[in-house]
A and B are shown apart, each in its own frame.
Chain A
Amino acid sequence: MAECHPVGFQWVMEAKARGATVIHIDPRFTRTSAVADRYVPIRAGADIAFLGGVINHVLNSETYFKEYVLAYTNASTILTEDYADTEDLDGVFSGLNREDRFYDFDTWRYQGGDVRPASGDRSDPDERPHVRGRVRQASRGEAHGSGGAAASAWPETDDTLQHPRCVFQVLKRHFARYTPEVVEQICGVSQEQFAEVCRLLTENSGRDRTTAFVYSLGWTQHTTGVQCIRTAAILQLLLGNIGRPGGGIMALRGHASIQGSTDIPTLFDLLPGYLPMPHAWGNEDLDTYVRAETVQKGFWANTRSYMVSLLKAWWGDAATAENDFCYDYLPRLTGSHSTYETVLAQLDGTCKGYFLYGQNPAVGSANARMQRLGMANLDWLVVRDMVMIESATWWKDGPEIQTGEQRTEEIGTEVFFLPAAAHTEKSGSFTNTQRMLQWHHEAVEPAGDARSDLWFTYHLGRRIREKLASSVDDVDRPVLDLTWEYPLRGSLDEPDAEAVLAEINGWDAEQHPLSAYTQLTDDGSTACGCWIYCGVHADGVNQAARRKPGQQQSWVAPEWGWAWPANRRVLYNRASADPDGKPWSERKALIWWDEEKGRWVGHDVPDFIADRPPFFRPSEGATGPAAISGVDPFIMQADGKGWLFAPAGLVDGPLPTHYEPQESPFPNLLYGQQHNPVRQLLRHPENRYQPSGDQPGADVFPYVTTTYRLTEHHTGGGMSRFLPYLAELQPAFFCEVSPQLATERGLEHLGWATVVTARSAIEARVLVTERIRPLEVQGRTLHQVGLPWHWGPNGYTTGDAFNELAHLALEPNVHIQEVKAMACDIRPGRRPRGPALRELVRRYQERAGITDETGTEV
């Protein structure tokens, strides 16, 4: 966190100054480790085993927060008899379709009277397995960024937690094998260190104390990424650390406003506010869409209002009840169209044009070579960036030109480069990891031809609409009917960003700004561009621009920026009070029930129905918010509870399981199942995988490499490698290795090393450092190779791009690449030049016996 979020890290340092204990778990000793109280080196890709071990410890030692677990989680919920766990099936769950590589989640269900079918069924009405598989792939899981998935609202429970099929018992059985010995064997973490972490975590959780987890890509960029966060979520629920001040799980996010770009997404499978993108199979009209995506209980029950208001924001007067509010204008998914599938589509010629707005896949995306090969197969490519990034210049000087595989004259892609304005040259909002929007004001107008992305998008749309103005073709209606009027400002005709914010916030039939999403209706009288952001422009005031200093307000600082939803700073904060509505402790009081006022009051905005008393119990059959009981803090969840067991929403299992990374020098010690069975593999000759574990040839790649960022550089390097002040701070691409590995492989400090995988070979300068430690894993010494991935061939400091080495094996819920754990070889010296480079890779493939099938087993 100190490395990549140094500004946020000030709060960690402040907490530390106030007595907090900081534990850092990372394969490398980083700037975070340097100031942490405890540093735990871990094998890359082994975090589920580690956290699973802690869960096992917490359950065995009964150090979980009993009242909290019983009242606020689904621990007591009973599962159906059909459910079979990894314990029963050697590492897979019931419902695995091996043929088409997906899970049917019918069996991962709560037991309960008139249970409505689980959401999976509702969104996958097609019975044909391959169709269901494709729908699964289209990330239904990601649709839950702001809340839970569908599940039965009135399941059977056992408050004694003794029922053999209750979640609590299932959990116990599931994690029983994650013993300290196993943790040691899998993670390379000594039992003493592990015990110490368990002790610190449990001692610091309970009524009086809370522990926060902070994670980022070390957990996510794995074929098991989402399940890793799930493991932490289970642990935090068990320890009672969710919905309480100082608790929670904080996802440190990436680019400025990457949170904003999932809220109002740049993702193929989402609409604003985590509304799922309609699928071609199953979401034929608004009614079926709403039925499929709506849950019985809680605020997702109002999906229709959110969706209709969104359609009204986009299509205004054209959206009427008669035409389903233009629901048909929305594009439909037919499967996964993540950035990586798009590359395959480019390679096979289906995708012919490509816009790159602030993205540098030629160095930043996994298997960078495939990215370039894909772009070389386009008709046109538009790059909008501030500098001449590799994605704009590969056709004249990219690695494939260097190896002689491509010749500039033979590349048919027409490449347009359009200079982009920087954030200082435009106004807009950033949404940070705390879900807080902060407004930034244009400081200067962009120089030269540079324009903001808002300018470009708006004026592109305007011109297209002008060109289509006389069209009578129905296919053009969605474009022509868009509400596309924004005030223009300044000499460059910059659209007013605040007008866009106002539209996102929404208005009622009289065009008055709305102030809360609870005002949204499904009759077309309200318009709202993103329901969770409703209120950011309440009273016509830009709430995101508020900057009242912290000293001038309460410790929650509600008047700095604006956090969705409803300016709440801690989600699910009903859980900060006990079932009777009293704070668990004075020290950790956040909101509580005020009997006299008949309301929830406190420091934060209550994330609960303001006047619903703790003792309220809904009548059987109630729906939506009315069905939330006084002890259901998780108001977005279908059952109001925190999910230890996830009956829906995840495509790869209701409980986390340790699987080895796609490429690992080790077999899975826990189960016969080596990998996540439903990990997403993209088969292509340029994307061959290596053998793993005990498979022959695995020893050709005996080391584990992981990638990471340096404080001094930013991602693909467009914003740092080109700047002298940053380039000079880390002026060369390097790899970090332990002294032991350096000796083993003859690597010299400041010399060169070549790192090889089945995809490519890259060279880097060598930094020998004690900060990288060999680990004892499964009875042998494992060396890890650290590689920062910021470099590429252009800019002021140049170097090979790590992503030449990376494969495309994706996490199945959110399609993230596995660039945090990969097997590799390392050798001294520089890599070969010209055609010899491909030859070296071919020889490695040959030595390891790699074919198109290697590594693709379920």
Chain B
Amino acid sequence: MTPDPSAAAAEPMVKIRGLRKHYGQREVLCGIDLDVSAGSVMCIIGPSGSGKSTLLSCINHLERIDAGKLWVEGELVGYREYNGRLYELPERQVARMRQKVGMVFQQFNLFPHMTALQNIIEAPIQVKRIPLAQARKRAMELLDRVGLADKHARFPAQLSGGEQQRVAIARALAMDPRLMLFDEPTSALDPELVGEVLAVMQDLARSGMTMVVVTHELAFAREVGDALVFMDAGVIVERGLPRAVLSAPKERRTQDFLSRVL
């Protein structure tokens, strides 16, 4: 059906073939094929309800897929293939795979009962069993990287939206992920706070992190993105270099969308 993923010379970080997903009767993803090459930044744009956030959640199996296959670093996500059949993996084993995929959410989802520092060291300590002193040292380095070292003892409620999102990025990075997923990371922010989060993301991209970014920030997609995908109604309508798609969209639906948001 699909070529053996290990056969390809330059293995893509994420490889998606024929992915389908539905909620009840409603099909939200109708056959997605997508490759994200290692070290690149893939931006996904599209109107709300187009399935772009659902696609992102399928990559780390927060949402289970109904058909198709999805690989991260050549490893089949959420399933084990045996004798031509797919067997769903138990949550414990999926959790192991998720360690190498960081995720940042629209609503930040920091743990409100923990300080910024505790938020960051929680998973390294609980999941990777890293010693406390070492986890704290690494967390402080990450907080410094996102410019919040002085606020390590604050609780999320004492931070601005932009600061919370930067802590959330540091929290994801603390697991040393191979891939970072961003689900509309700046959509819940006040306009004046968007810049600080995008700056951290741009810095991350420059350091060579593979990123998949669902966003409405077209300027970011144009400046930082290596590839761009436009989605509508559960399908990929158009794909290409960000500059090309944003300046000269070929498809009618892309043109309509861009004329509305620009």
Asked if A pairs with B, the answer is: no
Interface residues of A (CB under 8 A from B): none
